[in-house]
């Protein structure tokens, strides 16, 4: 088992398959950003499979593919099929902006993907365009419909509420999720990179106090995902809400994950710089034992907590680079 210095068990790996994205969300990739990883440095599918296999042998059972926009990586269903059949993998999910999902949903499901998170910050077309930089609304809505038809076990909507931009859209999004049987996940914006650090976050602990009576929400004991999001359920069981509150309430004591970027660098925390490059080991065709040793050494570097509130200017790495 992978245990870090703070006695946290690591059972979840997020794998970025590209740092590129077809959107430019205001809190993620800055307009004009060009410093994407060169394809020559990307891990191949075989290398990703090798690293995932090592993590699985070390007790990690949950894997998520992300980016950048993961569906921009060619032949992604092939990678899903490779990972889904690895011994020890019990949960394989994908986070996507939904612009390409319409084309791939059935293939991904057939390849063994269980769960999907689709990012959508508003149900107002102009607001989606304002945040993402593109008129992507229709594509995302079509994709959600296709994904439902493809039979995914669970579809979550990721929404980042930004004061003065889309916070007034939360209740419409709640109604949309109830009507379509989607789980809504609200995420406080994290100060990563130049574009996100200047943005105010919307305090979700305050929001829940307002939503609670309206939907008769109670804290859920069920497990909806691989991580520290807190879940709430409505009394009639028709609505589930997940809150990710890195700004208003630290959840670092229960952090169970590490992330791997497209070039095979392990990042131990979204809000700190510690990292370990695995690519040189993979290129040298190292033994399984050496790879596992490197993974344990990386986990030993995992810091106790982020410092998003104390040092909001600290992280220059954008979310798309680490793999959100
Ligand atoms: N392109 C995919 C997508 O849009 O879902 C996957 C990658 S994206 C980086 C993953 C998630 O990170 C999205 O839900 C996005 O809203 C969120 N995200 C990006 N930057 C963020 C930030 N600074 N703070 C909080 N969430 C952020």
Position of tokens 């410093």? Answer: 35
CB-ligand 1 contact for 315 (6 Å cutoff): no
Supply the residue whose CA is at minimum distance from atom 13 of ligand 1: 119
Question: What residue's CA is closest to ligand 1, atom 25?
Answer: 189
Q: How far apart are CA 140 and CA 135, in angstroms?
A: 10
Q: Does ligand 1 have an atom closer than 6 angstroms to the CB of 320?
A: yes
Expressed in angstroms and rounded, the spacing between residue 118 Cα and the centre of ligand 1 is 10
The pLDDT mean for the chain works out to 95
Least confident piece of the model among 70-74, 117-121, 209-213: 209-213
**What confidence tier does 108 reach under pLDDT thresholds 50, 70, 90?**
very high
Ligand 1 neighbourhood includes 192 CB (under 6 angstroms): yes
Q: Which of 195, 323, 233 is nearest to 270 (CA)?
A: 323
Q: How much distance in Å is there from the Cα of 28 to the middle of ligand 1?
A: 7
CB atoms within 10 A of CB 7: 7
CA separation for the pair 220, 226 (Å, rounded): 15
Specify the pLDDT at position 206: 92
Phi, psi of 277 (to 5 degrees): -85, 120
Q: Which residue has the higher pLDDT, 314 or 18?
A: 18
For residues 219 and 30, give the distance between their C-alpha atoms in angstroms, rounded to a whole number.
36
Q: 70-106: per-residue pLDDT in tens?
A: 999 999 999 999 999 999 999 999 999 999 999 999 9
Q: Please report the pLDDT score of residue 314 as a whole number.
A: 85
End-to-end CA distance of the chain: 24
**181 has a pLDDT exceeding 80:** yes
pTM: 0.96
From the CA of 104, how far away is ligand 1's center (Å)?
A: 20
Count of Cβ atoms closer than 10 Å to residue 200 Cβ = 11
- What's the whole-number mean pLDDT along residues 167-179? 97
Cβ of 120 less than 6 Å from ligand 1: no
**Does residue 95 have its Cβ closer than 6 Å to ligand 1?**
yes
Q: What span, in angstroms and rounded, lies between the C-alpha atoms of 221 and 231? A: 8
Q: Is the CB of 269 under 6 A from ligand 1?
A: no
Give the residue, by CA position, lying nearest to ligand 1 atom 1: 69
Is residue 246 within 6 Å of ligand 1 at its C-beta?
Answer: no
Distance 39 CA to ligand 1 centre (A): 22
215-236 pLDDT, tens digit per residue, is: 999 998 776 666 678 899 999 9
Two tokens, residue 94: 């994908």
pLDDT of residue 153: 86
For range 298-314, the mean pLDDT: 93
Expressed in angstroms and rounded, the spacing between residue 287 Cα and the centre of ligand 1 is 34
Ligand 1 atom with the shortest distance to the CA of 192: 23
| CA 324 to ligand 1 center in whole angstroms | 5
Q: Dump pLDDT digits (tens) for 136-167.
A: 999 999 999 999 999 998 999 999 999 999 99
Checking if the pLDDT of 23 tops 70, the result is yes
Q: Which of 94, 100, 169, 171 minimizes the C-alpha distance to 130?
A: 169
The closest residue, in CA terms, to atom 8 on ligand 1 is: 324
Evaluate: CB of 97 within 6 angstroms of ligand 1.
yes
Gap between the Cα atoms of 254 and 275, Å rounded: 20
pLDDT digits (tens, 9 = 90+) for 234-252: 999 999 999 999 999 988 9
* Residue-level pLDDT at 224: 67
What is the pLDDT averaged over residues 100-117?
Answer: 97
For the beta sheet containing 257-260, the strands, ordered from the edge strand earlier in sequence to the opposite edge, are: 217-219, 230-234, 240-244, 183-187, 154-159, 115-119, 91-96, 62-66, 12-16, 257-260, 265-267, 275-277
Q: Would you say domain 12-322 falls under CATH 3.20.20.70? A: yes
Does the beta carbon of 324 lie inside 6 Å of ligand 1?
Answer: yes
Atom of ligand 1 at shortest range from CA of 195: 23
- The CA-atom distances, in angstroms, between 75 and each of 79, 115, 163, 224, 317 are 7, 18, 38, 28, 27
Q: What angle do CA 168, 174, 180 make, to 5 degrees?
A: 140
């Amino acid at each position: 088992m992978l245990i870090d210095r703070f006695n946290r068990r690591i059972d979840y790996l997020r794998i970025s398959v590209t740092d590129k994205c077809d959107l430019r969300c205001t809190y993620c990739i800055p307009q004009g950003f060009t410093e994407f990883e060169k394809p020559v440095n990307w891990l191949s599918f075989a290398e990703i499979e090798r690293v995932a296999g090592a993590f699985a042998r070390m007790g990690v059972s949950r894997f998520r593919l992300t980016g950048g926009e993961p569906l921009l990586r060619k032949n992604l269903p092939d990678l899903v099929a490779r990972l889904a059949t690895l011994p020890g993998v019990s949960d394989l999910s994908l986070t996507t902006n939904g612009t390409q999902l319409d084309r791939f949903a059935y293939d991904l499901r057939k390849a063994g993907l269980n769960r999907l998170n689709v990012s959508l910050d508003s149900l107002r077309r102009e607001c989606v365009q304002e945040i993402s930089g593109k008129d992507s609304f229709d594509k995302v809505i079509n994709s959600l419909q296709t994904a439902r038809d493809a039979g995914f076990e669970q579809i979550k909507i990721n929404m980042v509420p930004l004061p003065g931009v889309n916070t007034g859209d939360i209740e419409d999004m709640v109604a949309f999720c109830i009507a379509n049987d989607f789980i809504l996940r609200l995420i406080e914006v994290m100060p990563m990179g130049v574009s996100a650090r200047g943005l105010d976050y919307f305090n979700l602990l305050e929001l829940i106090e307002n939503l609670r009576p309206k939907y008769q929400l109670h804290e859920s004991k069920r497990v909806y995902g691989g991580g520290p999001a807190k879940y709430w359920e409505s009394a009639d069981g028709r609505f589930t809400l997940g809150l990710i509150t890195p700004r208003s309430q630290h959840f670092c004591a229960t952090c169970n994950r590490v992330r791997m970027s497209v070039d095979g660098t392990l990042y131990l925390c979204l809000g700190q710089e510690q990292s370990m490059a695995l690519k040189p080991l993979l290129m040298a065709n190292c033994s399984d034992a050496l790879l596992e040793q490197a993974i344990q050494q990386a986990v030993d570097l995992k810091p106790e907590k982020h410092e998003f509130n104390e040092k909001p200017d600290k992280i220059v790495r954008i979310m798309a680079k680490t793999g959100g």
